[in-house]
């Protein structure tokens, strides 16, 4: 056991001292700080002055109602009538005296038409706002010409009252589903990224030690099985350190700026009035998902002798993770579908998809217990097989990268005994 802790601590300290760990952690912390101060940054670079748009109303009819429409919408655009020719107005826009120029005309049906001039039409915000308000003006004019009362048009376009009522008393409301959907999405994304990053870290670390012949010294002082699980737990502590820093800094920023944050933002992502149970399930499925894929990554990493071959052999594992993630994304909109129910019991998909179901539905506890039992059993089986493959794989040198090397690794592990 002493050797286990020596390898674990060495793995942990080596990883947290690397430049990649320090730089990636610092970048993520800066991103968190930037997101917390996003509104302040936007205000720092934003220009509070109202932009002016030159208007030439050749119809002599549309300028005033268009100005009233913009005033009612409280848009940071001022429509300024231009007394001059179109060429003079275009020159003024080129000289940046105006944001843009709009020439209003009337067609044969007495419907407004417009031509928009700007130095750069890539900025579609101003153009879109003008187009929307002109569209509203067109509707008003068209309804007046047809003799339809404006209030009738308003009633027609008003959204229909549509209330959803769940007959099952245990079912979640629409608001609760929206909140659950937000937090489940965040947890799924975190699990997806963590499994890929730290799983690849384990496999790369094993391959690095083999390529430098350090592995020969390590396995002479500690059994390959001890070495494998020390690697897995050591990298897990690295991940917990990194995630712990993110959570601590994020929580501190929330406390420091809780008066500035919009409560609706947090409620939409499920951070308010959320049952603590979902966070408990998130931790459970995160740990089990990590152990499942980390064991597989360590086993695969032991089969290669060069760092260049790691990505090739990890390809099938990455594909499994991606498939699980995509199924979970599909399940966000249909969590109670038969497909989602079935795949939630497949061990390699369980950490994401069963957590999705737990977060969004009120499912029987026996289903959760069964899925966790199957997942733990799979981890135990994979650890047993992985230990044998690892024992032989760390003794294999030369070019490799094929799943056929499993048989060779198991044969070497038997000879070692």
Question: Residue 293's pLDDT is what?
Answer: 87
Is the pTM for the entire model greater than 0.75? no
Q: Which 3 state secondary structure label does DSSP give 53?
A: strand
Cα separation, 8 vs 195, in Å, equals 19
The pLDDT value recorded for residue 376 is 92
pLDDT, tens digit only, all 417 positions of the chain: 677 787 788 788 888 888 888 888 888 888 878 777 766 666 666 555 667 888 888 777 777 887 777 777 766 777 888 888 888 888 888 888 888 888 888 777 777 888 888 887 766 677 888 888 888 778 777 777 777 776 776 777 677 777 666 665 555 556 666 666 777 777 788 888 888 888 888 777 776 766 655 555 555 566 667 777 787 888 888 888 887 888 788 777 766 766 555 544 454 454 555 667 777 888 888 888 888 888 888 777 767 666 666 777 778 888 888 898 888 888 888 888 889 899 999 999 998 888 888 887 888 899 999 999 999 999 888 887 777 776 665 555 555 555 566 566 555 555 554
Domains and CATH numbers, the chain: 48-157 (3.40.190.10), 173-416 (no CATH)
Tokens of 23: 């730089």
Predicted confidence at residue 406, as pLDDT, reads 57
- Which residues make Cβ contacts (< 8 Å) with residue 9, sequence separation at least 6? 234
Asked whether the beta carbons of 292 and 351 are under 8 A apart, the reply is yes
- How many angstroms separate the first and last alpha carbons of the chain? 20
> Would you report the helix, strand and coil content of the chain in percent, each value rounded to 5?
70, 5, 25
State the pLDDT at residue 195.
80
Name which of 410, 292, 196 is nearest 204 in CA terms. Answer: 196
| Ranges of H-type helices in 62-166 | 63-73, 86-94, 124-146, 150-157
Q: What is the DSSP letter of 112?
A: E
Cα-based distances in Å from 347 to 34, 79, 342, 382, 383: 38, 62, 11, 11, 14
Q: Is the dihedral of CA 236, 241, 245, 247 positive or negative?
A: positive
Q: What is the pLDDT of residue 264?
A: 47
CB 206 within 8 A of CB 12: no
- CA angle centred on 287, ends 386 and 273, rounded to 5°: 160
**Residue 378 CB neighbours (<10 A):** 18
Beta-carbon contacts of 87 under 8 Å, excluding residues fewer than 6 positions away, are none
| Angle subtended at Cα 410 by Cα 382 and Cα 199, rounded to the nearest 5 degrees | 40
Work out the number of other CB atoms within 10 angstroms of the CB of residue 302: 30
């Amino acid at each position: 056991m002493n050797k286990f802790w020596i390898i674990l601590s060495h793995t942990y300290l080596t990883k947290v001292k690397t430049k990649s760990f320090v730089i990636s952690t610092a970048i993520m912390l800066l991103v968190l700080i930037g997101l917390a101060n996003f509104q302040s940054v936007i205000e720092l670079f934003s220009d509070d002055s109202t932009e002016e748009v030159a208007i030439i109303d050749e119809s002599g009819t549309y300028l005033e109602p268009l100005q009233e429409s913009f005033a009612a919408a409280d848009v940071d655009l001022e429509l300024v009538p231009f007394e001059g020719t179109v060429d003079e107005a275009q020159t003024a826009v080129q000289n940046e005296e105006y944001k843009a120029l709009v020439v209003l005309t009337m067609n044969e049906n007495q419907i407004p038409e417009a031509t928009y001039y700007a130095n750069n039409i890539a900025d579609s915000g101003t153009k879109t706002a003008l187009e929307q308000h002109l569209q509203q003006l067109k509707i008003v004019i068209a309804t007046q010409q047809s003799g339809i009362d404006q209030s009738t048009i308003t009633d027609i376009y008003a959204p229909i009252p549509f209330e959803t009522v769940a007959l099952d008393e245990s079912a979640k409301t629409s608001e609760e589903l929206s909140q659950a959907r937000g937090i489940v999405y965040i947890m799924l994304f975190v699990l997806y990224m963590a499994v890929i990053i730290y799983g690849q870290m384990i496999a790369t670390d094993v391959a690095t030690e083999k390529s430098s012949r350090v592995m020969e010294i390590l396995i002479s002082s500690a059994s390959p099985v001890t070495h494998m699980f020390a690697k897995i737990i050591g990298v897990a502590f690295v991940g917990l350190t990194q995630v712990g820093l993110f959570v601590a800094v994020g929580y501190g920023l929330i406390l420091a700026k809780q008066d500035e944050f919009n409560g609706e933002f947090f409620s939409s992502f499920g951070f308010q009035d959320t049952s603590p149970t979902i966070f408990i399930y998130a931790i459970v499925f995160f740990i089990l998902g990590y152990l499942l894929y980390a064991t597989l990554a360590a086993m695969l990493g032991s089969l290669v002798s060069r760092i260049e071959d790691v990505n090739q052999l990890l390809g099938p594992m990455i594909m499994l993770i991606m498939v699980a993630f995509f199924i979970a994304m599909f399940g966000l909109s249909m969590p109670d579908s038969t497909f989602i129910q079935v795949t939630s019991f497949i061990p390699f998909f369980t950490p994401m998809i069963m957590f999705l179901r737990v977060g969004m539905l009120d499912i029987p506890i026996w289903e959760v217990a069964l899925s966790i039992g199957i997942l733990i059993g799979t981890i135990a089986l994979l650890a047993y097989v992985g230990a044998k493959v690892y024992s032989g794989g760390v003794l294999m040198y030369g070019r490799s990268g094929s799943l056929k090397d499993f048989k060779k690794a198991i044969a070497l592990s038997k000879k070692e005994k």
